[in-house]
Amino acid sequence: MTFLESGLEPNVLRAIEELGFVTPTPIQAKTIPHLLSSDQDIVALAQTGTGKTAAFGLPIIHLVHTELKTVQALILCPTRELCIQIASDMANFSKYVPGLDIVSVYGGAPIGPQIKSIKSGAQIVVGTPGRTLDLINRGVLKVDIIQWVVFDEADEMLNMGFKEDLDEILKTTPPEKQTLLFSATMPAEISRIAKKYMTDALEFSVGKKNAGAENVIHEYYMVHARDRYSALKRIADMNPKIYGIVFCRTRQETKDVADHLINDGYNADALHGDLSQPQRDLVMNKFRQGHLHMLVATDVAARGLDVNDLTHVINYNLPDDPEVYVHRSGRTGRAGKNGVSVSIIHTREKGKIKQIERILNKQMEHKMVPGGRAICEKQLFNLVDTVENITVDDQQIDKYLPVVYKKLEWLSREDLIKRFLSVEFNRFLEYYKNAPDLNAGVKEERSEGGKSERRRGKSAKGGKRGNSNMSRLFLNVGSIDKLNPAKLIGMINDFTQVRNIEIGEIDIKKKYAFFEVDSSYESTIIKSFGRHSLKGRKLNVEVAQKIR
């Protein structure tokens, strides 16, 4: 199906044809015909960047009654930036539809102009939950007769704590409306909203639930913690055309990494919670326009930042929650293009890699941090390619050439090329002249069977561990399920009915845990845990890695 065959009205087709729309994306191909012909609620699962705005926006623009100067569609999204972008996209789609008004409402901006725009007769309102609820409570935004409610990036809105606002907004809407829920993942809270506020919802899914984009390559580099920034520099230098987001854990780390990159000559900046809204807008506009090659951000600060054509997403630190990794990696490899998700890990994070691989259902490639020689070669040939493909403006440059020729006539062709390359290239040669090997864990991986690292721990009886071979196991519940070390040891005792299993390090995260046990009890523990549940969740234990 093409857009010309979709049934959309001519004024809409004219606008999207100018935007280069020819063939619908998979999620558009599923949702647009349904919305044009049915009022059944839908849950649409698709990664960010797959054309979801057009998937719900085009049919709503087609169906809205422009002669009625009342709000007929409410589109909710998690952030100011995404709100502005959706409203802008909708305005572009409806460029040739007379009488259609679209208003965006969000916090951090004066409410007066937004009230005035709604009262002037807008038919479509795009808003963040907080500001939308404020306008409803003021009696300005009347949603008791709306026909459509759209949740865009619903999982992100729940992650950001908008659950109560969404509940309050939905209570004021008519039961006969059509509800459209768009999300990248399907957590339990999304299912709750669907069951409570939607009627016989039809589910459309593009790709697997909670899975990463198919055209993203996943790589990781293993270094010691002290070498993390040096590894980031090398990754950037090995990719001269990089255009990506570097994710950090904290706002302070974000500032530090961005400052280091700027001081080292990279086009980079930071996005974090300490920035004022004007500062944030300035940074984001520079990044969108390509004036910044790397944006260093926390997950919270980057929410709602929707930028096309990113080549890389770099995890300066892996997130604790593997689903956050999926969200991060989904920011590259969009609209049929390829992207790379890079993680810089230390030697004790192999277990996290295994868990992410299970969610992605694909392997992450262990890459070696490049050495100085490889980086210098890459930069050299990138410079040569740039020179070869540069556009020369003869009219502007011709008047300077006689002086330049005279100045450089004593140089041979070979000397001229060498000096020209050295102008840009010398700093790489100098920096990487004695560059050390940053790769960690390689020797440890190759020396399996050698002397084991001494570890401290307790057995299931509470005694000290011996030196037997150990296995590191993954358990699919964590602190959110009220799991703690004492409870885990008790579960091992109770489930296996064995009281002398040696237990090493226990590492409990929010949604999962790792623990070390005597390898000879590995299969016993896996089988025994598989027969039990905790807080309604069926327990699953898998081998993360062997420890010798």
pLDDT higher at 11 or 482: 11
**Judgement on whether residues 114 and 201 belong to the same structural domain of the protein:** yes
Mean pLDDT over 235-256 rounds to 92
The pLDDT value given to residue 49: 64
Contact indicator for 514, 465 with CB cutoff of 8 Å: no
pLDDT above 50: residue 454: no
pLDDT above 60: residue 51: yes
Mean pLDDT over 81-94 rounds to 90
Residue 210 lies in a domain: no
Interatomic CA distance for residues 295 and 305, integer angstroms: 11
Q: Alpha carbon 116 to chain centroid distance?
A: 35
Report the SS3 class of residue 278: helix
Mean pLDDT over 195-204 rounds to 85
Exposed/middle/buried for residue 67 (C-beta within 10 Å: 0-12, 13-18, 19+): exposed
Helix (H) or strand (E) holding 443: helix 442-446
- Count structural domains, the chain: 4
Q: In DSSP terms, which residues pair with 88 in a beta bridge?
A: none
Polymer length of the chain: 548
Helix (H) or strand (E) holding 133: helix 129-137
Boundary (domain end) residue, out of 184, 205, 226? 205
Give Cβ neighbours of residue 52 (< 8 Å, ≥ 6 apart): 27, 44, 46, 152, 182
**Judgement on whether residues 200 and 140 belong to the same structural domain of the protein:** yes
* C-alpha torsion sign, points 115, 117, 120, 124: negative
The pLDDT value given to residue 462: 38
The pLDDT value given to residue 450: 32
pLDDT above 80: residue 105: yes
Nearest to 123 by CA among 197, 78, 72: 72
Q: What is the dihedral of CA 427, 430, 436, 438, to 10 degrees?
A: 0
Boundary (domain end) residue, out of 155, 182, 205? 205
**Judgement on whether residues 395 and 501 belong to the same structural domain of the protein:** no
pLDDT higher at 232 or 545: 232
pLDDT above 90: residue 146: yes
Report the SS3 class of residue 414: helix
| Phi (first) and psi of residue 158, to 5 degrees | -70, -40
pLDDT above 70: residue 367: yes
The pLDDT value given to residue 199: 84
Q: Percent of the chain beyond pLDDT 70?
A: 91
The pLDDT value given to residue 207: 56
Residue 140 lies in a domain: yes
Give Cβ neighbours of residue 362 (< 8 Å, ≥ 6 apart): 212, 218
pLDDT above 80: residue 527: yes
> Hey, what are 217's tokens?
């390559």
**Judgement on whether residues 470 and 517 belong to the same structural domain of the protein:** yes
The pLDDT value given to residue 500: 74
pLDDT above 50: residue 53: yes
pLDDT higher at 422 or 411: 411
pLDDT above 50: residue 548: no
Residue 440 lies in a domain: no
Interatomic CA distance for residues 210 and 326, integer angstroms: 7
**Judgement on whether residues 231 and 115 belong to the same structural domain of the protein:** no
Q: What is the dihedral of CA 445, 446, 451, 456, to 10 degrees?
A: 0
Residue 436 lies in a domain: no
> Hey, what are 19's tokens?
């935007």
Residue 211 lies in a domain: no
**Judgement on whether residues 416 and 515 belong to the same structural domain of the protein:** no
pLDDT higher at 495 or 73: 73
**Judgement on whether residues 236 and 98 belong to the same structural domain of the protein:** no
Residue 413 lies in a domain: yes
Mean pLDDT over 275-302 rounds to 86
The pLDDT value given to residue 322: 78
**Which residue in the block uniquely carries the two structure tokens 């960047």?**
49
**Judgement on whether residues 249 and 195 belong to the same structural domain of the protein:** no
CA angle, residues 149, 152, 156, in degrees to nearest 5? 130
Averaged pLDDT score across all residues of the chain? 84
Question: 425 is in which domain, residue-wise?
Answer: 373-431
Give Cβ neighbours of residue 436 (< 8 Å, ≥ 6 apart): none
CATH number of the domain where residue 316 is located: 3.40.50.300
pTM score, whole prediction: 0.54
Boundary (domain end) residue, out of 205, 229, 246? 205
pLDDT above 90: residue 137: yes
**Which residue in the block uniquely carries the two structure tokens 């390619």?**
385
pLDDT 10s digits, 217-226: 999 999 988 8
Helix (H) or strand (E) holding 154: helix 154-159
The pLDDT value given to residue 242: 94
**Judgement on whether residues 234 and 260 belong to the same structural domain of the protein:** yes
Residue 323 lies in a domain: yes
Contact indicator for 240, 379 with CB cutoff of 8 Å: yes
**Judgement on whether residues 39 and 179 belong to the same structural domain of the protein:** yes
| Phi (first) and psi of residue 537, to 5 degrees | -100, 125
pLDDT above 70: residue 458: no
Residue 234 lies in a domain: yes
**Judgement on whether residues 105 and 244 belong to the same structural domain of the protein:** no
**Judgement on whether residues 323 and 362 belong to the same structural domain of the protein:** yes
pLDDT higher at 308 or 488: 488
CA angle, residues 208, 23, 311, in degrees to nearest 5? 60
pLDDT above 60: residue 546: no
pLDDT above 50: residue 211: no
CATH number of the domain where residue 524 is located: 3.30.70.330
pLDDT higher at 518 or 230: 230
pLDDT 10s digits, 166-191: 989 988 899 899 999 988 777 677 78
Q: What is the dihedral of CA 135, 139, 141, 142, to 10 degrees?
A: 150
pLDDT higher at 196 or 443: 196
Write the Ramachandran bin of 161: left for phi over 0, alpha for psi from -120 to 50, otherwise beta: left
Interatomic CA distance for residues 60 and 53, integer angstroms: 11
The pLDDT value given to residue 196: 79
